[in-house]
Amino acid sequence: MSITERRAHPLAVAALILYAAVMLAPVAWMILTSFKQPADTTAAVPSFIPAPGTQPAGSVFFQPSFENYTRQIASPTFGRALLNSTLVAVISTLASVGLGAFAAYGFSRFRFAGSNDWQFFILSTRMLPAMAVSVPIAWMYQQLGLRDTHLGLIILYTCFNLSFSTWMMKAFIDEIPTAYEEAALLDGYSRLQVLFKIILPQASTGIMATAVFCLIAAWNEYAFALTLTTMRANTVPVEIAGVAQDANVVYGRLAAAALLFMLPIVVFTLLMRKHLLRGITFGAVKG
């Protein structure tokens, strides 16, 4: 009997449920906070239970309100940051998946001198600590006029994700038998036709999974956005982290903003759960 086919002991299940409750408590607290009015978020006694009507100070009840959400959505700075995040994440994802698909096909199907070395170089670019390269990149962007622009962040995130997308898609393309291509080439298809009509459609799930990973990385990125943007192109992580440093921060709105920002990516990731492992191991292991 496989270890996976054994039934769990009830105590083990209880322990897991307790663990899950602890792990999800911060998210639950964030959701509760997002419905609180300012006085309830800064009260000496925390309130846990939403209840209609005005609640006395110091009780465990609080009166829920949607005000944090309506105000946050209406906020021009948050709206702009959300638009920036969306633009930068979506365009850089498309670019890194597009360029990466070509490169992955090239590395997968053609052997050439130094192919392995190039692949290692590509992957090692992802290992660079952002803060170790932020000064020269900031300087370079200053010269090129790319500081605090969407284009600047898009190029950087594309580079950042390209190494990853190439590796992951190569793992998917490696699995497509070359017999299809050879048959198509004999039938008079050109290499480009083979790529577009045979390889890319066959690798479509892999491409989708790669896209989700690139999107998550670009969506959540903070260090580069912090050092390279100020007013025009700042993304939501920079905006929210900045608000948290403010002495007059409205915690309910902070929580609402964080949840509005996190929701799409959580839903996305849970949908792509099956591919999660493969993305993490850069396609090395079957997920």
Partner 1 sequence: MITHGADRWTLSDRAVRYWCILPMLLLLIAFNIFPLLTSLYISAHDYRRGIHRGLGDAKFVGMDNYRANLNSPPNQEPWKSFQRTAAMVVVTVSLQTAIGFSVALLLVRKFRGREVITALLLIPMTLSPAVVAAFWKYMFNADIGIINELTGITGAWSGYSPRAFWSVVIVEVWLWTPFMMLLSLAGLNAIPPSLYEAAEVDRASAWFRFRHITLPLAMPMVLLGVVFRVMDTFRLFDTPNVLNGDAMGQDTTLVSVLLYNRAKNDSANMGIGTALAYLLLIVAVALGNIAVHYLAKMREREKTRGAA
Closest C-alpha to 206, from 111, 115, 274, 123:
274
Q: Which of 70, 79, 139, 232 binds partner 1 (CB under 8 A)?
A: 139
Closest C-alpha to 41, from 221, 254, 183:
254
Q: Does 229 bind partner 1 (CB under 8 A)?
A: no
**Under 8 Å CB-to-CB from 93, ≥6 apart: which residues?**
161, 211, 214, 215, 218
Closest approach of Cβ 156 to partner 1, in Å? 7
Q: Which of 94, 138, 176, 184 binds partner 1 (CB under 8 A)?
A: 138
Closest approach of Cβ 191 to partner 1, in Å? 4
Closest approach of Cβ 161 to partner 1, in Å? 11
Q: Which of residues 40-99 bind partner 1 (CB under 8 A)?
A: 41-46, 99
Q: Does 237 bind partner 1 (CB under 8 A)?
A: yes
Q: Does 129 bind partner 1 (CB under 8 A)?
A: yes
Burial of 244 (0-12, 13-18, 19+ CB in 10 A): exposed
What's 8's DSSP letter?
Answer: P
C-alpha 279/C-alpha 269 separation (Å) is 11
Q: Does 183 bind partner 1 (CB under 8 A)?
A: no
* Structure-token match 């829920």, residue found: 64
The DSSP element (H or E) to which 50 belongs, if any, is strand 49-50
Closest C-alpha to 96, from 150, 166, 170:
166
Q: Which of residues 267-286 bind partner 1 (CB under 8 A)?
A: 269-270, 273, 276-277, 280-282, 284-286
Mark the segment that binds partner 1 (CB under 8 A) among 61-69, 75-83, 202-210, 256-264: 256-264
Q: Does 248 bind partner 1 (CB under 8 A)?
A: no
Closest approach of Cβ 183 to partner 1, in Å? 16
The three state secondary structure string of 127-151 is: HCCHHHHHHHHHHHHHHHCCCCCHH
Q: Does 127 bind partner 1 (CB under 8 A)?
A: yes
Q: Does 234 bind partner 1 (CB under 8 A)?
A: no
